[in-house]
Amino acid sequence: GAVVSQHPSWVICKSGTSVKIECRSLDFQATTMFWYRQFPKQSLMLMATSNEGSKATYEQGVEKDKFLINHASLTLSTLTVTSAHPEDSSFYICSARPQIADNEQFFGPGTRLTVL
């Protein structure tokens, strides 16, 4: 149980284009999903908290107009990197917290974004 999927697994795009990443909880409902970013040899850094039916909460230093988050249902959150630039190249990982859980989070397999 507690499986989280992400799509796509990896994406290469040109500078200036937008990329959408999907995060789905497959066998549970998640009122809250989280988006993290991980640069090479670094730890995960929380970008934003996505709440179903309301606006996302962004961490300090994360531009909300650049990283658009939509949590349309209890099983789906999307992250859109708008006007991507090479410095946005990173490993983006989502996690989902089951409704009945406290802090326990289950992570998706991640999406490797490379912006040329």
Partner 1 sequence: EDKVVQSPLSLVVHEGDTVTLNCSYEVTNFRSLLWYKQEKKAPTFLFMLTSSGIEKKSGRLSSILDKKELFSILNITATQTGDSAVYLCAVGTGGGADGLTFGKGTHLIIQP
Contact 4, 12 (CB under 8 A): no
Please list the alpha-helical segments (H only) found in the chain: none
- If binding is defined by CB under 8 A, does position 68 make contact with partner 1? no
25 is an interface residue for partner 1 by CB under 8 A: no
User: Closer to partner 1 at the Cβ: 75 or 108?
Assistant: 108
For residue 46, the cross-strand partners are: 36
The single residue among 45, 68, 74, 76 that binds partner 1, judged by CB under 8 A, is 45
**Dihedral sign, CA of 63, 67, 68, 73?**
negative
Give whichever of 45 and 76 is closer to partner 1, judged by the CB atom: 45
Question: Cβ–Cβ contacts within 10 Å for residue 39, how many?
Answer: 12
Nearer to partner 1, 14 or 60 (CB): 60
By CB under 8 A, tell whether 80 contacts partner 1: no
Q: Give the tokens for residue 33.
A: 């999903």
Smallest distance from partner 1 to CB 94, Å: 9
Indicate the Cα dihedral angle 108, 109, 115, 116, nearest 10°: -170
Q: Which residues bind partner 1 (CB under 8 A)?
A: 32, 34, 36, 42-46, 49, 51, 57, 59, 93, 95, 102-110
